[in-house]
Structure 1
């Protein structure tokens, strides 16, 4: 079984800061990690490899420093890693990112399954995985919490707000996973040392069959015009009257005066 896993290197912080001039993430001084949902995706791929055999390849689009994230994936058990990196890819939104990754996947060649994390913790869009499937013209199943593969049929439990649904699909297929699907394994020291010695190939725009106008900022229909911090909430008004009816009457009057009702 040929399995591809798309991963992203993201800032290791819950407080993402934005440059108000460039409207981009401030990465200086912030350590980077493998996107947590993508680790769940890799673990799902590795478990299928352990059960059915095959090969797991991880792909990431990002700056040269993303090699460190890919090496961590190799240490976890991936067989191959590819970095897609070029200045022409800079400033890409989800559409341009998915277009570039889809082109890289076509260059890889044959595949049975493509795994993605549900979303990246720095963007929270959950769009790149489904868009990759659309570019490739293959089926997709999102928010997957359990996977079973039988021949060319994949049966999954898809997570909903109030429960799970069972869905089947045929290979090739793209799957995005949720956190509850598994607990990612920890790489051993030996595997980490081995991964650190691996030379990860870098594919640039020249290596891919792409339209330059669909890459990076040029190919991004989503443009950030302005970023601002919402004003802090002011202290609310406490209404305390002798009876509940009196309190309700005062509340209705205040809402009416503020033209809310």
Structure 2
């Protein structure tokens, strides 16, 4: 079983230092980056598949060189066997369409130069774009079947089919069970939870974790970087030039207003400090 787990770095908004250029495009190379939270569910689905059925899982991301850290985190958390980074200046400022074109080219290059792919896993949406488009668009470019909002899944290796429970969103939430032939694209729902009911599965997961520690520590030796020439991509159809999305403006996210009232007290104000101590004393004595 050969799987690709797609992941992405997103701005670490908690750091408070998100950088944009004069045209409103995010400067990812100058912005602290963390793994996209929704991708963790997709990565867990890939790990569950590897634990249950064996095989090989590769991590793949598109972005600046610093995204190698995200792929290393992927290896540490879900025990991927190797990593592939699609990266060069021609790919900068890609919208979801240009990103999907690039990712699909990465998957095709992988199939041509590494091995056939059975499954591709992607997260529901990213914390910076919030569109939920990249996974389905990449699948469209591959012309594969896709199952979205996946809550649980398993594979029948002999029949080469995927069986999944997926969430149907409408006036009421429903869960349906679907089947799809391999190769297949899986987009996990944020509610996806991996399950390891068999003792053999839990032991396998423990063994994989031990094997991965040394591999992740030497991640650069297992990282392959492909630029747009490696992917046989025309610069006119990728990056900013290949992105039909137009960013009209970018507004900073305002700081949320405080929900609590605060009283400012000068440390030199004896009466004020006595009032503060009076407020704190009951908590200090356990009352």
**What interval of TM-score do these two structures reach, taking the shorter chain for normalisation?**
0.7 to 0.9
Gapped regions of structure 2 (runs ≥ 5): 196-204, 256-287
The Cα shift of 1:142 comes to: 1.0
Match of 1:211 among 218, 224, 234: 234
- Checking the alignment, whether the CA contact within 8 Å between 1:155 and 1:167 is kept in structure 2 is yes
Identify if the C-alpha distance between structure 1 residues 55 and 224 changes in structure 2 by more than 3 Å, giving closer, same or farther: same
Query: Which string of whole-angstrom CA distances, capped at 9 and with x for unpartnered residues, describes residues 99-127 of structure 1?
Result: 00100100111101000000111111110
The Cα shift of 1:45 comes to: 0.6
- Checking the alignment, whether the CA contact within 8 Å between 1:145 and 1:159 is kept in structure 2 is yes
What residue in structure 1 maps to residue 271 of structure 2?
none
What residue in structure 2 maps to residue 235 of structure 1?
none
- Checking the alignment, whether the CA contact within 8 Å between 1:154 and 1:168 is kept in structure 2 is yes
Aligned equivalents of 1:173, 1:142: Cα separation in 2: 11
What residue in structure 2 maps to residue 7 of structure 1?
7
1:158 is the counterpart of 2:166: yes
1:97-136 equivalent positions in 2, closer than 5 A = 97-109=99-111, 110-136=116-142
TM-score (norm 1): 0.80
1:1-261 equivalent positions in 2, closer than 5 A = 1-13=1-13, 19=20, 21-25=22-26, 31-76=32-77, 77-109=79-111, 110-151=116-157, 152-161=160-169, 162-182=173-193, 191-192=212-213, 194-199=215-220, 200-228=223-251
- Give 3-state SS (helix, strand or coil) of 1:133's partner: helix
Aligned equivalents of 2:254, 2:46: Cα separation in 1: 43
Q: Aligned pairs, how many?
A: 232
Aligned equivalents of 1:158, 1:16: Cα separation in 2: 37
Aligned equivalents of 2:119, 2:98: Cα separation in 1: 22
- Checking the alignment, whether the CA contact within 8 Å between 1:72 and 1:192 is kept in structure 2 is no
Query: Which string of whole-angstrom CA distances, capped at 9 and with x for unpartnered residues, describes residues 46-94 of structure 1?
Result: 1111111110011000000000010111112001101110100001000
Identify if the C-alpha distance between structure 1 residues 231 and 192 changes in structure 2 by more than 3 Å, giving closer, same or farther: closer
- Checking the alignment, whether the CA contact within 8 Å between 1:13 and 1:30 is kept in structure 2 is no
Gapped regions of structure 1 (runs ≥ 5): 233-261
Query: Which string of whole-angstrom CA distances, capped at 9 and with x for unpartnered residues, describes residues 2-49 of structure 1?
Result: 101110011222679573832123658853211111111111111111
Aligned equivalents of 2:134, 2:218: Cα separation in 1: 30
Aligned equivalents of 1:112, 1:49: Cα separation in 2: 12
- Give 3-state SS (helix, strand or coil) of 1:99's partner: helix
Aligned equivalents of 1:154, 1:189: Cα separation in 2: 28
Query: Which string of whole-angstrom CA distances, capped at 9 and with x for unpartnered residues, describes residues 214-260 of structure 1?
Result: 1100110111022346999xxxxxxxxxxxxxxxxxxxxxxxxxxxx
TM-score (norm 2): 0.73
Aligned equivalents of 1:192, 1:22: Cα separation in 2: 42
The RMSD of aligned alpha carbons is 2.7
Aligned equivalents of 1:34, 1:193: Cα separation in 2: 21
